[in-house]
A and B are shown apart, each in its own frame.
Chain A
Amino acid sequence: EDKVVQSPLSLVVHEGDTVTLNCSYEVTNFRSLLWYKQEKKAPTFLFMLTSSGIEKKSGRLSSILDKKELSSILNITATQTGDSAIYLCAVEGYSGGGADGLTFGKGTHLIIQP
């Protein structure tokens, strides 16, 4: 059974701080690891990582995958109050029938204080 563990489960920091969120996984036939930001109902896609050691970057957010360690980190620099959300990590495997659905971690609840 696929498994995703995120840490910390919650984090409170001040505006301007840099945060690092962690994700470790176990998956049969790894295909990709994805990061999402969830503020209300629907998760908003941030990154998809398939190759180890290649950093993906979007503004103040960046992420990297370590397939040897079966883990990924999501960094947010110069945090703003608008970054307050639940950050979800998910992994995608594949079976003979094609891509499997995503297995999600419990998420990191990030709160940015002014």
Chain B
Amino acid sequence: SAVISQKPSRDICQRGTSLTIQCQVDSQVTMMFWYRQQPGQSLTLIATANQGSEATYESGFVIDKFPISRPNLTFSTLTVSNMSPEDSSIYLCSVYEIFGSGTRLTVV
């Protein structure tokens, strides 16, 4: 099964700034997924990232707030833009049934 390297592992950011999260997969995959887990909540799908096309966002998530890049079949980034404390969450990427190690984001 695929191995995913996700970074950063955690970060504390000032409100109004942006953070870019990276995921590197050890094999080529067509689809990568990005999830958010707010404190005490379950995982919610943010968007699906296909190589060579625009990401597909779920209801409640918009490209301006969560721009995604997918430059090749092994790599993707998610940016959390203009952050507020409400963005404090764990962010996770996945391929197939496997998840990256997660990024714990705290916005102060």
Interface residues of A (CB under 8 A from B): 34, 40-43, 45, 48, 88, 90, 97-107
Considering the complex, give the chain A residue whose CB is closest to the CB of B56. Answer: A97
Asked whether, in the complex, the Cβ of A45 is within 8 Å of the Cβ of B31, the reply is no
Asked whether, in the complex, the Cβ of B45 is within 8 Å of the Cβ of A102, the reply is yes
**A45 vs B95: C-alpha distance in the bound complex, in angstroms?**
12
B69 contacts the other chain (Cβ, under 8 Å)? no
B75 contacts the other chain (Cβ, under 8 Å)? no
Asked whether, in the complex, the Cβ of A41 is within 8 Å of the Cβ of B31, the reply is no
**A103 vs B46: C-alpha distance in the bound complex, in angstroms?**
11
Using known A-B contacts A41-B90, A41-B92, A45-B98, determine if residue A107 contacts B104 with beta carbons closer than 8 Å.
no
User: Which A-B residue pairs are the 4 nearest by beta carbons?
Assistant: A41-B102, A101-B45, A104-B42, A104-B43
**A33 vs B102: C-alpha distance in the bound complex, in angstroms?**
22
Q: Which residues of B contact A41 (CB under 8 A)?
A: 90, 92, 101-104
